């Protein structure tokens, strides 16, 4: 299995959507942000369904052609990594958005509202995962937003308590993840970028909520912690949170940690804080250092070998810092290829 080789390659989740599938707007476009209603699809009904199928086929091809070992569907069917799932839970209203300061004050966002008990009424991603698994020659990963990130990305008008809401969300996510697990994905990943913004909450209740998400799963489980998507005109501060949260994550119930090291410039010696986990080592930037910048295979190789000084190479996977959706498709393709080539070079030296 790719997970047992040195420097297996994967992606985080999202890939750019084709211009023929969805309107192309900045991620911080008012009313269409990653927390809000999302950009509009350019088709409706059956045409949209078939267009999304084609977009997933392209995403699979791009990853396999680049040399990515564990692939996703590029989240081609989702308006965003958060709302594509949360809008289908009971208890949320995305018709009347409200404004909320998110990501520890990083920006004021238009968000959906939690107006009742959070419930999963029906399968959300199972058909999508079946399509991905049936069309991919490689092992596959499916992604879900994590409970703390959902809490931060919505306005609570029902629970009045972040922890209570997060645990309700975690139970809904676990029900969805258990259903997805029956399809046989290699990895089920929970995206928690806000872990890097609220390390004190991670220790208080974030790990407990995450553990509830992964209860009873057979697939490898992963949590993704980065510093959020780069957005034009929006500051992206890198706070010193990894030293706090990695020790806690090391004793969590998840199998893998997807961590940002490229754009953040964090020291790979931090890997010593999580020796029990497989780490998806972020060695490819998703636009924070320049939307057209492409790393070289040699640069990727050197970063991976530096990481391997602190964690066995078989516990390190090469990955981008975060989803590649902010990039142009051609740049994303070049970055994935450079990542895979760099991993191959590094593999030859361990």
- Tell me the three state secondary structure of residue 131: helix
Please give the model's pTM, rounded to 2 decimal places: 0.96
Sign, CA torsion 310/313/315/318? positive
- Tell me the three state secondary structure of residue 287: coil
Q: What count of other Cβ atoms lies within 10 Å of the Cβ of residue 96?
A: 8
- Cα 72 to Cα 143: distance, rounded to the nearest angstrom: 8
- Cα 336 to Cα 16: distance, rounded to the nearest angstrom: 12
Print pLDDT tens along the chain (350 aa). 345 799 999 999 999 999 999 998 877 777 666 676 678 999 999 999 999 999 999 999 999 999 999 999 999 999 999 999 999 999 999 999 999 999 987 888 899 999 999 999 999 999 999 999 999 999 999 999 999 999 999 999 999 999 999 999 999 999 999 999 999 999 999 999 999 999 999 999 999 999 999 999 999 999 999 998 888 778 888 888 999 999 999 999 999 999 999 999 999 999 999 999 999 999 999 999 999 999 999 999 999 999 999 999 999 999 999 999 999 999 999 999 999 999 999 999 99
Contact status, residue 87 vs residue 94, Cβ threshold 8 Å: yes
CATH of domain 2-347: 3.20.20.210
**For the chain, domain boundaries:** 2-347
Angle formed by the axes of helices 297-307 and 329-347, nearest 10°: 50
Q: Where are the beta strands (DSSP E) in 12-133?
A: 90-102, 107-119
- Cα 254 to Cα 268: distance, rounded to the nearest angstrom: 20
Contact status, residue 335 vs residue 294, Cβ threshold 8 Å: yes
Tell how far CA 277 is from the center of its chain. Answer: 17
pLDDT in the model for residue 177:
98
């Amino acid at each position: 299995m790719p997970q047992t080789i040195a420097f297996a390659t994967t992606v985080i989740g999202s890939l750019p959507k084709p211009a023929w599938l969805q309107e192309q707007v900045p991620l911080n476009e008012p009313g269409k942000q990653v927390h809000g209603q999302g950009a509009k699809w350019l088709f409706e009904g059956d045409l949209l369904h078939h267009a999304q199928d084609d977009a997933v086929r392209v995403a699979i091809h791009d990853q396999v052609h680049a040399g990515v070992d564990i692939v996703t569907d590029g989240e081609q069917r989702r308006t965003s990594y958060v709302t594509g799932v949360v809008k289908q839970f009971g208890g949320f209203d995305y018709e009347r958005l409200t404004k909320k300061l998110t990501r520890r004050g990083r920006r004021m966002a238009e968000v959906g509202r939690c107006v009742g008990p959070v419930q999963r009424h029906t399968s959300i991603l199972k058909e999508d995962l079946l399509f991905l698994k049936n069309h991919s020659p490689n092992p596959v990963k499916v992604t879900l937003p994590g409970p703390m990130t959902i809490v931060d990305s919505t306005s609570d008008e029902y629970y009045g308590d972040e922890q209570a809401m997060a645990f309700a969300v975690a139970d809904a996510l676990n029900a969805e993840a258990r259903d997805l697990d029956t399809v046989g994905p290699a990895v089920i990943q929970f995206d928690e970028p806000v872990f890097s913004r609220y390390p004190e909450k991670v220790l208080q209740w974030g790990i407990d909520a995450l553990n509830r998400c992964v209860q009873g799963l057979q697939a490898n489980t992963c949590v993704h912690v980065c510093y959020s998507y780069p957005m034009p005109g929006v500051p992206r501060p890198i706070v010193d949170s990894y030293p706090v949260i990695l020790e806690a994550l090391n004793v969590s119930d998840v199998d893998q940690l997807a961590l940002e090291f490229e754009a953040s410039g964090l020291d790979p010696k931090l890997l010593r804080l999580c020796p029990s986990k497989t780490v998806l080592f972020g060695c490819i930037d998703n636009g924070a250092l320049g939307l057209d910048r492409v790393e070289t295979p040699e640069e990727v190789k050197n970063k991976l070998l530096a990481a391997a000084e602190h964690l066995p190479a078989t516990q390190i996977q090469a990955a981008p810092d975060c989803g590649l959706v902010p990039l142009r498709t051609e740049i994303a393709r070049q970055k994935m290829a450079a990542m895979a080539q760099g991993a191959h070079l590094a593999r030859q030296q361990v």
